[in-house]
């Protein structure tokens, strides 16, 4: 048997019809989809994670600035409360500088943990502002500075 005779005997002549076209189209779409899943999709996910991390950092910067603004407009009833507010304001200003300098080096987990802590501080400042509590964290009646002053005095005298 010659190869032409075998080809005629075993092959079928397929007409071009809708089913054949749909099968070929489905096969091409399947190959394109598999290439998309294996090549393009991982790059898109990585890019999306980077964008989400950058958005979280931007929200962290905005949150720090919002807390600083809230603290600046908060006033206490007495010297101790105003001193605590000034102390927290100074710490937040230093913290804002540190975050601006080193924020790009932070991991997404660190940013998330920091945002959680900042949310707690923001809640405390909001309760101060809304006068929901008369209690600040430091009260002059419970602050005993005599032992610290004695230690400081002793250290000063010993350093001479």
Contacts of 64 (CB under 8 A, 6+ apart): 92, 95, 96, 99, 118
**pLDDT digit string, tens, across residues 48-57:** 888 888 888 8
pLDDT > 70? residue 4: no
Let me know if residue 148 belongs to a domain.
no
> Does the residue 71 lie in any domain?
yes
Helix (H, G, I), strand (E, B) or coil at 156: helix
Whether residue 10 is contained in a domain is answered as no
Q: What is the DSSP string of 113-146?
A: HHHHHHHHHHHHHHHHHTT--S--S--GGG---H
Q: What's the pTM value of the predicted model, to 2 decimals?
A: 0.56
Quick: pLDDT tens for 101-150.
888 888 888 888 888 888 888 888 888 777 755 555 554 444 455 676 67
Flag whether 72 is in a domain: yes
Buried b (16+ CB within 10 A) or exposed e, 33-51: eeeeeeeeeeeeeeeeeee
pLDDT recorded at residue 139: 46
Residue 156 located in a structural domain: no
**Which domain does 42 fall in, by range?**
15-140
In a domain, 5, yes or no: no
Q: How many domains does the chain have?
A: 1
> Computed from CA positions of residues 64, 69, 70, 71, in that sequence, does the dihedral angle turn out positive or negative?
positive
Would residue 153 count as lying in a domain?
Answer: no
Res. 32 pLDDT band, cuts 50 70 90:
very high
């Amino acid at each position: 048997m010659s190869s032409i005779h075998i080809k005629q005997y075993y092959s079928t002549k397929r007409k071009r019809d809708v089913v054949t076209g749909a099968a070929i189209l489905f096969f091409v779409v399947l190959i394109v989809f598999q290439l998309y899943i294996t090549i393009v999709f991982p790059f898109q996910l990585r890019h999306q994670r980077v964008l989400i991390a950058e958005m979280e950092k931007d929200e962290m910067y905005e949150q720090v600035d919002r807390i600083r603004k809230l603290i600046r407009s908060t006033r206490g009833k007495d010297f101790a409360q105003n001193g605590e507010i000034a102390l927290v304001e100074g710490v937040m200003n230093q913290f804002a500088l540190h975050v601006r300098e080193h924020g790009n080096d932070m991991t997404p987990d660190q940013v998330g943990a920091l945002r959680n802590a900042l949310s707690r501080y923001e809640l405390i400042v909001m309760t101060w502002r809304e006068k929901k509590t008369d209690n600040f964290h430091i009260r002059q009646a419970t602050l005993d500075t005599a032992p610290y002053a004695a230690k400081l005095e002793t250290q000063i005298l010993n350093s001479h």
